[in-house]
Structure 1
Amino acid sequence: MTAVTDVAPTAAPKGVGGIGQSVRDSLVVARRNLIRMTRIPEMIIFGLIQPIMFVVLFSYVFGGSMNVGGTTDSAVYREFLMAGIFAQTVTFATAGAGAGIADDMHKGLIDRFRSLPMARGAVLTGRTLADLVQTALTLLVLAVVALLVGWRTHTSLGEVLGAFALLLLLGYAFTWIGALIGLSVRTPEAATSGGLIWLFPVTFVSNAFVDSGQMTPWLRHIADWNPFSATVQASRELFGNPGVVDSSAWPMQHPVWASLIWSVLIIAVFRTLAVRKYRNATA
């Protein structure tokens, strides 16, 4: 007589809800990247050197020759300048984000993540969140340096924090552009180059370093509708820094709203494209 043993089928593990799993996986990846950053302090140190150099160079080398509001007072220009330097700092982090993702692709790490049972967008979201934390630390140090060279705010603490929040939101939005570039190239070097090529015209054809009213009409129109310019102008208003804009362009008349709309739109578009690229990526 043959004994027959009934074996109960192994129950499949219960899945976590889509949003809950995505948040959990994103935080895990963000933690992994933050730990990695702490083990490579040169990444943070070198990320601080460039903006500090810009502050010193523009403040003391060019400050006395810049006309802001009809005056060439270097102290006035320093207050005008700092919103632009802050915005440039958070957006230039884009190149590093793109290079980091390209490096992960080159080493096959992205393929290993894709083989795991995790939310598809979590790898990129976690990476961009970690970059946002690093950018916030850089911005904090840069603000201290700005105070040392004479920059001051003239509004409430809430408005100052609101300005920094807009700056970080813009930086986070641009990081998704960097993520898409990092997924689209073959090497980290190409990602760095590709991340900087478009950033220079975006940051310099703006009101960050000079009054856009002094530009030729066609160039001023581009600068006034530049998403970067909207965040710079919003920050100046919230900081209470000089930078009166004589422009009928809607973003310059409503810079806070324009900054929010531009940043959210960039995140929506480029996150969608980056996640789609990630799904189809191969090492």
Structure 2
Amino acid sequence: MSTVTQASLFAGRNLRRFFRAPPALIYSFAFPVLLLLTQYAVFGRIVGDGDRQHYLERLAPLVVLSTAAFGSPSSAVGFLRDLTGGLVDRLRVMPVRPGALLVGRLTGDVLRIVLIGVLTTAVAMLLGFRFRQGAAAVVGFFAVLALFGAMWAAIALWRGSGPGDEESLPPSLTGPATLLFIFSSGFVPVSAFPSVVQPLVRANPFSTATEALVGLSSGGPVLAPVLQTLAWVLGLGGVCLLVAVRRFARRTAR
């Protein structure tokens, strides 16, 4: 079989394992929905009736993006289990290209992120969120989510292939993801932050991706934030993936 075929089999394996794990399934779907509902209920009331719709137009894309970041700990733990649970040893005696496991896990994670993002977006639409830029923009909206998800999937591979155990991996990813989520332009306007940190907030990958999704859904700049998000994906995601590949290659060396 070709590497693509083998990778698709591993991607399917990861998705099946996800759907067959009720606790992970419930958490993955419920967390972003509850986050959206609570944040909208609390902060939507603070901004007032006249700005609730505008706030939802920015909050919903941010919460959709959070499905990628806050799902990365489980992806890292899953990859660590693959490395330490005997799967790699079995691959050594099978006609399987080692890279297919990495590609399959990355692909499966991205598909899972997009699926959860679609559900979260559907809930947001029940609250009043709308796509106002046409069908092509809707496709672009979820394409940006997939790119953002690929970056976090690569980060999960990097973290899962490095030092640590199943208990230490989640905090090392959840903490940075939470800080990026809070200090982003989707959570509160950039102007609300102290001027000294505003450049960092604007450069935050959550901010660039949120601005891209806002532009594709409600209107506004699209090209610049998409290119900035792509730079994060290729830069940070590419480095993490490269390190993960090198670590994995050492483990699978025959």
Question: 1:55 — aligned with what?
Answer: 36
| TM-score w.r.t. length of structure 1 | 0.81
Q: 1:201 is aligned with what amino acid?
A: L
1:272 aligns with 2:239: no
1:26-56 CA distance string (max 9 Å, x none):
1121122222223224322210111111111
Aligned residues of 1:128 and 1:176 also touching (Cα < 8 A):
yes
1:58-104 CA distance string (max 9 Å, x none):
1111212248xxx8622221122111111112222211210111222
Question: 1:215–1:253: structure 2 CA closer, same or farther, 3 Å change rule?
Answer: farther
Aligned residues of 1:103 and 1:187 also touching (Cα < 8 A):
no
Distance in 1, Cα, partners of 2:92 & 2:246: 13
Q: 1:81 is aligned with what amino acid?
A: L
Aligned residues of 1:120 and 1:275 also touching (Cα < 8 A):
no
Structure 1 position 203, deviation (Å): 1.9
Q: 1:79 aligns with which of 51, 54, 57?
A: 57
Q: 2:19 aligns with which of 38, 42, 50?
A: 38
Distance in 1, Cα, partners of 2:209 & 2:121: 17
Give the root-mean-square deviation of aligned CA atoms. Answer: 2.3
Distance in 2, Cα, partners of 1:201 & 1:183: 23
Aligned residues of 1:102 and 1:191 also touching (Cα < 8 A):
no
Structure 1 position 130, deviation (Å): 1.2
1:136 aligns with 2:117: no
Q: 1:27 is aligned with what amino acid?
A: S
Question: How do 1:17-36 residues align onto structure 2 when only pairs under 5 Å count?
Answer: 21-36=2-17
Question: 1:188–1:114: structure 2 CA closer, same or farther, 3 Å change rule?
Answer: farther
Aligned residues of 1:227 and 1:259 also touching (Cα < 8 A):
yes
Structure 1: segments with no counterpart, 5+ residues: 1-15, 246-251
Distance in 2, Cα, partners of 1:268 & 1:107: 26
1:254-278 CA distance string (max 9 Å, x none):
1122122322333322211111011
Question: 2:153 — aligned with what?
Answer: 175
Structure with greater Cα Rg: 1
1:126-170 CA distance string (max 9 Å, x none):
112111222122111111111111212221111122011101111
Aligned length: 252
Q: 1:65 is aligned with what amino acid?
A: I
Distance in 2, Cα, partners of 1:114 & 1:124: 15
1:237 aligns with 2:191: no
Corresponding residue SS for 2:95 = coil
More helix by share: 2
Question: 1:220 — aligned with what?
Answer: 198
Give percent identity, aligned residues only: 27
Distance in 2, Cα, partners of 1:254 & 1:201: 23
Structure 2: segments with no counterpart, 5+ residues: none
| TM-score w.r.t. length of structure 2 | 0.90
Deviates more, 1:156-165 or 1:263-272: 263-272
Question: 1:104–1:133: structure 2 CA closer, same or farther, 3 Å change rule?
Answer: same
